Structure formats: structure tokens, C-alpha cells
Structure 1
Amino acid sequence: MTRFVAPLVAAVILAAPLHAEIEIAEVETPGGINAWLVEEHSIPFVALELRFKGGASLDLPGKRGATNLMVGLLEEGAADMDARAFAEKAESLAASFSFDVGDDAVSISAQFLTENKDEALALLRAALTQPRFDQDAIDRVRAQVVSMVRSDQQDPDFLVGQAFDAMVFGDHPYGSPIEGTEDSVTALTRDDLMAAYEGALARDRVYVGAAGAVSPEELAAMLDDLLGDLPETGLPQAPNVEVQTDAGVTVIPFDVPQSVAIFGHEGLARDDPDFFAAFVLNEILGGGGFEARLMEEVREKRGLTYGVYSYLVPKDHAALYLGRVSSANDRIAEAMDVIRDEWRKMAENGVTAEELESAKTYLTGAYPLRFDGNGRIANILVGMQMDELPVDYVNTRNDKVAAITLEDIERAAARVLQPEALHFVVVGQPDGVDSPSQ
């Protein structure tokens, strides 16, 4: 999606102070909207983050890509402004708006100077409550999406993710790209986009984070004015999915000199009691740069790849534990063998005391660096709410990391690492890799 970022706003973001400790105010508006706020008046600037739960997973059957296309049109004209007039107005206010969509949420970010607050919010309100969906804009943005869909089909990194998702999630919306297919996007009508808009942007699923020069009382008034005219309820959320994999390999033939692989199986939900221990465990296995075991064994010792990593993926309706690696076609099989071996060894033996202390030192030291601007703070506040974390989480998180023990890691490893279910999807022409799909 297009972003409007004025140089002055960017300078304000970069100049924002680093926050090691955060005071969060919980705000409830007279209209019943809840928000979290970090109030900071040292700079006359406000960042506002809106998150509507559901996202592309709300696409109706046969309408894949509708939410993505709809979100792309929110900045393409509103009220009495066409796309050009909307962009020019945002630029004149030194305001920044961005609109994006993921599997589980529609995300809307706004950043503006306090002196332009009223006009900036009026512009955003028009985009949210009076989108035009002009046919010429629909045709233009649709053409951009179709071009991207075609390009993706030539990208092995995209294809491997698409294939893994299709294998795991099937007909669930998670099982196909949020952009849709060329056929599904081409068939979308303006009525489809209106239905996606009304189903996704509703007050019963909105989460709000704000940071900057605004008081709780001012924020409450702003939000009721901004969001008060949205529908009260939207489409039902998508169903949950049970992830089932086996210790196999699926090969997608593709004529490239280097194969790319995604590997993984079921993960842990964000609210699982062992999630924190699994998070630290993953830092040691594949999330910690050059000190991680996978990087050490696959890259440093054997030179099989430039990079390999693993990561927890707690979606709203399913949880995965995934990793990714790429290697020359004649070496990918060896890289996969090493990954399987490290997966098994950590599942059986856990980690060393030295590895645990190193990971905890890094994670606790790096955490305050995330709070390096109002925009990022507002984004973190929204994420905390969607994950149902307590309001004091930012000030207790490092204590939780520091409290993780070897016993915690051992328990989490036995649960989250499943060598018997570790499945690889490979796109390329891998030598020595057999697949039932071939």
C-alpha cells in the first residue's frame, strides 16, 4: 500500500527518546471504545495505531483477496476527495497514514503533529467512514494487485510459503495468499469490496494504541469522533485450525540454482503457559543470529547456507513453529539433515546453562530498544492488547525472561519440538531429496 510520510514527521519519529520504562494509561471513551496510551508531551506529535481483528481471514468463500483490495482502496479517495486530492491533503498536513492487512488484522497507522490534529483526524475519519471505491480506483489498484500476484508466481520464496500454507491449512483462509489469485481478484466487484469493508472495519473488533502529546481525555474524544460511525459488529471470525504434519518432504519443482525450504509443524498459542520458555528456546535454536545452533551447525561449520532461522508463529486461529533455509540444489539435502538432527537433539537434551544465560542477556538487553519512537510504541500497545497481555507487561517482561530456568526450557522443548512431525517443503531442483509429490 502507498504510504504518505512527510519529512518533518519522519524527523520527529527519529528524534523521539528511547523508553526503557513505560507508563500506560487505560482509556475508555464515552462511546465504549478502549485504548492504551503512553502520554509524552516533550514533542508535539501523536502516533495512533488502529487494529481491526480478523483481517484477510474474513474473506468470504469465493472472494479471496477482497479484504486486501478493499484496504488498498481506503487511501484512494474519501468523501468529496479523489485519490489525488486525498494524497495532497495528507501531504499538506505533514501527516502520515498507512493501511495494511494481514491474516488476522487490518492495521491503520496515523502520525501527525498536534497543531494539525483536527484536520488530520478528519481526513482519516473520511477514509474510514466514507471511502469512495470509485471504479477507476478499483481498476487501478486491482491491476497493481494482479501484477503482484503474477510476479509472486515467479518467486521461489513466495511459492514455498504458499505451498506450506496450502498443505497445512487447506481450504481455510490461511491456506491461500491474502492477495487472492488472478481469477479471484479479477472477479471482485464493488459490492464485494463494500461487503468486505462492512465486515472488517467494525467497532466490536477494534484495538487502539496511542503515544505522544495527547491526554486521556483528548484521546477519548478523538476516538469517539473517529470511530463512532463505524458499524457496531462485523463478520464472524474465522474458525480455528488443527495443525497436523508428518516428518516428510514435499518438493515443488522450480528451475533455479538454489532451493529454498520452509520446515515446521504445530507450535504454541500465545497464551500457552510454556510460550515464554519456547520463545527463549527458539532464540537458542534458530532465532539468535550467528550464535544460534542452526546458524552454527548449518552455516558456520559446514557452509551450507548464508542464513537459516526458526520462529514461532502464533496466529489467532492456529499456531506454527517454522524455519527457513536456502542452499544450492546439491547441498540442500545435507542442510535438511543437519536441521533435523539439531531439532531432535534439542528436543531430547534441552540447552546448556551457558546458552540459556546468553539468550536471556540478549533478550533482556534488546527489549528496551524496541521503544524507539511514538509509532513503534503505539504499535506495541496494540499488539499487547490483541495478545491479551496485562497493561504492566512492558515493565515485567524482562523479569519473566530472566526467570526462565533450564527445567522450563526442557519442558518446553519436549512439547514444542516435534521431530516426528517436522515437515519440509522445498521449492527448487534439490538433489537427493525424495518427495511423494514428485
Structure 2
Amino acid sequence: MQQAFRAFAAPLIFALVVLVSLPAKAVEIQKIQSPGGIKAWLVEEPSIPIVSMNVAWRGGASLDPVDKAGLAYLASSTMDEGSGDYDSKAFQETLSDLAIQLGFDASKDSFSGSLKTLSENTEEAFRLFGLAVTDPRFDNEPVERIRGQIMSSLNRKLSDPGSLAGRAWFELAFGDHPYSLPSEGTLESIAAVTREDLVTFAETRLGKDNMVIGVVGDISATELGPLLDKTFGALPDKAGVSIVPQTVPLQEAAIKIIPQEIPQSVVVFGGQGLKRDDPDYYAAYVLNYILGGGSFQSRLTEEIREKRGLVYSVYTYLYPMKSAGLQMGGFGTSNATVKTALELVETELERIRAEGVTEEELAAAKTYLNGSFPLSLSSNDRIADILVAMQFSNLPAEYLNDRPQLINAVTQEDIKRVAQKLLDPDKLIVVVAGKPENLEASGAGAQKN
């Protein structure tokens, strides 16, 4: 359930969250500019003959027309299915023959691409990536094949409690705002997307002005500059993208129940969070670790799982989007204990608002957040993703060195202040997929049933 719901979060969010664990002096970031003016961040790593590149364009699935939600997602799934003189089979065979990994993705706020290649094939890999973004074919066969795959996935999600709860939460929290739309679309909206829509998307949504690039591996700045021009030079100077209006989630308590004949309910809860540029972001990050982001070290796990055995896992996380900030959480429990588990969540929210956190909790959180080194960060492609995430959130290159000090500067008073601002049980938005006993829909959730 937790994995299913977290699919709703932008991939860039993961990179921003794990930045806290990157060693302060592990990488040396070079800011480069190609002869044609294309900017990128580069980390040279010549010890392994691999080059990774990640690219993100600002403006993602939230810019899709309401009746064609999923347009960006379908485009991301078909841009590598033929380009230029290569049909789908020829393009994929060429990638396979050269062991090149190339793909695209769409989230609420971004459209992204990734490339990984042996350094001996770097020039050809960049050429193929450039073809995919500047001259995608969108031939009928691969588009319809992949459309069918997406619709099959959407059909399966109609009976998946985690997917149902996650989608309904965003609809309840954001109403008519674009963030309420599912990034992968619906059966009706995906069916409505035409080839002309895909062509227009590629021609207008990907520009040089809304693009950030991160490159890591066995390549120098001198080599990278001309490759950037060859790869992205044909893109329009300016993308035709609009701005997603700033918003906040529903500011009142609400419970929505999606009836499902299953023995265990899936619960998604959350509400107001912070955007990435908020001065209180670091305090909120530490607070989230203590509340529910620290797995077995968190208060919610201690109270709901360890003491009472009501859940296998309970979690919270920050979800800072470009036009709204969220703090999310969830758990699965038997239908008979949903209400009790939710009451325990609300009790912990109230307690941390009233009492704050202890010195021991704060110290332990800082030690973990500044000292952990996830194994996933050892690869070039993960670091390239991080470089893109930093640029996407307008963080300076020095951020990796500054991060430990920013975390260490958080005080107990900061935690309590931010908890009082964010963790309000009277504004908790809850969606339950299942048959919870003794729990009734309420607020806007009851109105939408």
C-alpha cells in the first residue's frame, strides 16, 4: 500500500529528500555552459567508464488539459519508441545493441528524461537522446500498444485500494485545481489523446528555457559542451508552458470512505505542508522524521505498531510541490481498528504540537539525517538525479556542503513552532479504502460520496 501511494509523488521529491544523506564533500559540481549557451551541472567521475545524464523540464502533468489528463505520461512512454529515421523496433534495437538505457517520465511538476551509457558510446547515446526529444515519431503501432498497456494498468488500479485511496486524496484535497488530476490520466482521458496532441506536446512543452541538466561520469566539461548543443540545440528557445496556480490543500477536516470488500483498509492522511523554498523547511523535515518518517524510530510507529500492533507500517513524508506543500502519511490496518489507529495519529499530532520534541529525539534525528549514506546514492545516475533536483528547486551548488549546518541549526523551539503550524488534527484530510468499522465520512469527504 505504501509503495502504491508513493507512486503519486514526484521522482524529484525522492532526490530532494535523500540529499540530506549525501556526504558533504562527496562530489565537486562544475557549472558549465555549452558554446550554444546550454547550461548543465557536471560531476566528473573518470574511475568508472559510465556516463549518466538526467534532464527535467519545468511543467509536467498538471499542465495537461482536463479532458486529456495523462497526455504528458503517454508522451513520456512513447518518446523512445521511434525517432527520426528509426522506427520503434530499430530505435530500441540500437539502444540494446549499445547497452544504452534511455527513458522518460512525467510527474505533476516536471517532464524528465534519463540516459545511461558506457563512456565509449557517449556521443551516439547523446545523439539518440537528442533525436527522441527533438524528433519523436509517435507512430500509430507503438502509441496504440503503449496506450493499451497504460489502460490495462489503469483498469487494475480501479480495484487496488492503495491507488484508489491515493487518487481520491488528491481529488478531495485539491478540488478543481490541476493537482487533483492523476498524472497517468484516466481511462477516458488517455483514450482521448491523439497523435496530434503528442506531437504538439513535444514541439511546445520542451524548451531550452525550462530545462535543467545534470551529468555525472567519465566525461569532461570540454567534451560535454558540444554534446549538449548537438543534443538539445534543435529545441525551441522558449517552451509554451503556463504556470500552475499557487494553492493550498483543503483547510478543514474531512474523511472520505471508498467502500471495498477487503479485510484490511488502506488509509491515506495528510494536509498542509511546506514548499521547498520555505525557511521552515528544514525544521519541518526534522519534525517529519520524528513523527513518522523515521521508520522504527518514529513516534507513530512506536505508538501504533510497537505498543499496540495495529499496523505493519505507518509512515509520513513531506511532499513539496511547486505550487503547494503537503505533509502526507498512511497505513493499512484491519477494518475493526481503523478508527482507533486514526485516533492515535491525531493524538500524536496534538501531543507534538503541545509538547514539542525531546532533546534526545532531536539529537537522534540530526545524527541520522546527517550521517546516513543510502547505498542508492553510490551510482552515477542517482547523483545526476540529485543535480537536477537541486537546480529544479533553485538550490545552490554549495547546498551539499551547507546541508548539515542547516539541519543542525534546527532547535526544539523551531520544531514546536512548525508543528503548531502544520500538524492540525482539525484540518486532517483522510481517505479510507475498505470497510472501516464505526467510522463515518465527514466534511467535504461526506459531500463527495
TM-score under structure 1 normalisation?
0.93
Aligned to 1:382: 388
Report the Cα offset of residue 82 of structure 1: 1.4
Aligned to 1:358: 364
Query: How does 1:154-193 map onto structure 2 within 5 Å?
Result: 154-193=159-198
Aligned residue among 134, 139, 146 for 1:134:
139
Cα 1:117–1:405 shift into 2, 3 Å: same
Q: Does 1:145 align with 2:133?
A: no
State the AA in 1 paired with 2:204.
Answer: G
Query: How does 1:24-423 map onto structure 2 within 5 Å?
Result: 24-234=29-239, 235-367=241-373, 371-423=377-429
Q: Tell me, in whole angstroms, the C-alpha distance in 1 between the residues paired with 2:43 and 2:125.
A: 20
Q: Tell me, in whole angstroms, the C-alpha distance in 1 between the residues paired with 2:418 and 2:23.
A: 33
Q: Which moved more, 1:138-147 or 1:409-418?
A: 409-418
Aligned residue among 407, 413, 432 for 1:426:
432
Report the Cα offset of residue 194 of structure 1: 1.3
Q: Tell me, in whole angstroms, the C-alpha distance in 2 between the residues paired with 1:19 and 1:248.
A: 42
Q: Tell me, in whole angstroms, the C-alpha distance in 2 between the residues paired with 1:293 and 1:368.
A: 22
Q: Is contact 1:18-1:372 (8 Å) kept? A: no
Report the Cα offset of residue 367 of structure 1: 4.5
State the AA in 2 paired with 1:92.
Answer: D
Task: Report percent identity of matched pairs.
Answer: 43
Cα 1:389–1:19 shift into 2, 3 Å: closer
Secondary structure of the corresponding residue to residue 110 of structure 1: strand
Q: Tell me, in whole angstroms, the C-alpha distance in 2 between the residues paired with 1:153 and 1:377.
A: 35
CA deviations over 1:20-43 (Å, ceiling 9, x no partner): 522111112232222111112112
Secondary structure of the corresponding residue to residue 77 of structure 1: coil
Q: Tell me, in whole angstroms, the C-alpha distance in 2 between the residues paired with 1:180 and 1:321.
A: 23
Q: Is contact 2:154-2:187 (8 Å) kept? A: yes
Q: Tell me, in whole angstroms, the C-alpha distance in 2 between the residues paired with 1:47 and 1:90.
A: 15
Secondary structure of the corresponding residue to residue 339 of structure 1: helix
Secondary structure of the corresponding residue to residue 279 of structure 1: helix
Q: Which moved more, 1:362-371 or 1:266-275?
A: 362-371
Q: Is contact 1:18-1:371 (8 Å) kept? A: no
Secondary structure of the corresponding residue to residue 203 of structure 1: coil
Structure 2: gaps (5+ residues)? 1-21
* Runs of at least 4 residues off by over 6 Å: none
CA deviations over 1:188-234 (Å, ceiling 9, x no partner): 11111112222322111110011111112222211111111012222
CA deviations over 1:390-429 (Å, ceiling 9, x no partner): 1111122112212222122122222222222112111110
Q: Tell me, in whole angstroms, the C-alpha distance in 1 between the residues paired with 2:376 and 2:403.
A: 13
Q: Is contact 2:286-2:407 (8 Å) kept? A: yes
TM-score under structure 2 normalisation?
0.91
Q: Which moved more, 1:339-348 or 1:367-376?
A: 367-376
Cα 1:300–1:368 shift into 2, 3 Å: closer
State the AA in 2 paired with 1:405.
Answer: T
Q: Tell me, in whole angstroms, the C-alpha distance in 1 between the residues paired with 2:250 and 2:278.
A: 18
